[in-house]
Amino acid sequence: MKVSIDKIVLNFKIPSGTSRGILKEKPSWILKISDENSTCGHGEFSIIPGLSPDFKDENDYLALINLVVEFIENQLEINDLNSLKTVEFTEKIQLFYSKFCSYPSLIFGFETAALDYLNGGKGLIYKNNFSEGLSQIPINGLVWMGDVEFMQKQINSKIQAGFSTIKIKIGALAFNKELALIEKIRTRYNANQITIRVDANGAFSPDEIEEKLLQLKELDVHSIEQPIQSGQLEKLAALCKRNIIPLALDEELIGISTREERRLLLDFVCPQFIVLKPSLHGGFYGCKEWIDLAEERSISWWITSALESSIGLNAISQFTGNYPIILPQGLGTGGLYTNNLPSKLVIKDGFLKMSV
């Protein structure tokens, strides 16, 4: 078995506004696991500087990646599918998760490369109706931060493309301007025609948030992601209990890496939704744990990509396809980038499908 790492820098077609500023490019590292028969599995170590808990700087991150490479070379022998059935192999995988539980992007990249390799190195991560092109996943149309004209143009484009759920990133403009954008949608479409989600990325202060939620409620906004900065659990719990509009936890889940910590967070805050990003929330292993705990508590969820390349998006979409999906998910094809890798993912009328 051979293990190698290649860095790619993804270039945005249009600089994209996020809570971490304006992004023009984003780095990822591609993990390749191959053998003498030319079977090659690909995974992606995808990070967002300033948000990913396992990324401080590139040198530090490369040192962490090398630890993963050493683990694969020294601990794993995944020469055939039968190895998955051995107790020894299962114990080694559990050892990996325990060793790297605080590094979600490393878990995500390892899982994807290993599963791709074990399934023949053809981009098949999970075998299900979605990966076989037999079903499709409803998704939201994402509206990036920017000036009013730029955001309005995006909204119009998403609605014309057939999206029935629009997710708008807010918190960068004056709030009255953001409300005006939402109100303009509502003058043409009611809540049964267009669902509106907003993502605040922690932009609002605890003192002002309730007033803002009341204004969003008047416009039939479906939900708000992370309305205040993470770490303010008592305020979040109070907001969730009052339920002016449903709240979804996102950044709040970052860095919560054990099952017990996850259980305690959900039991204390009692959110209406959680938003899961494998490269930020513990890989597929961690997301499955979050989903299990959420469903035990009747908390709904959806899965969102986090600026991954086509390799990561392919894997996340197939993982999502393991579940009976009703709520629109936050997935895409990687069309944000000028130099993304080839993809079999296509979007039509607000649905994501695998072209096979």
Q: Which residues are catalytic?
A: 169, 277
Are 169 and 202 spatial neighbours (Cβ–Cβ below 8 Å)?
Answer: no
State how far the Cα of 347 lies from the Cα of 334, in Å rounded to an integer.
11
> 274: closest CA among 241, 308, 298?
298
165-169 sheet: strands from edge to edge: 141-143, 165-169, 195-199, 223-225, 247-249, 273-276, 300-303
What DSSP string describes 67-81? HHHHHHHHH----SG
Query: CA Rg, the chain, in Å?
Result: 20
CA distances for 52 relative to 35, 61, 73, 222, 282, angstroms:
31, 11, 26, 27, 11
- Chain position carrying tokens 């597929």: 284
State how far the Cα of 253 lies from the Cα of 294, in Å rounded to an integer.
12
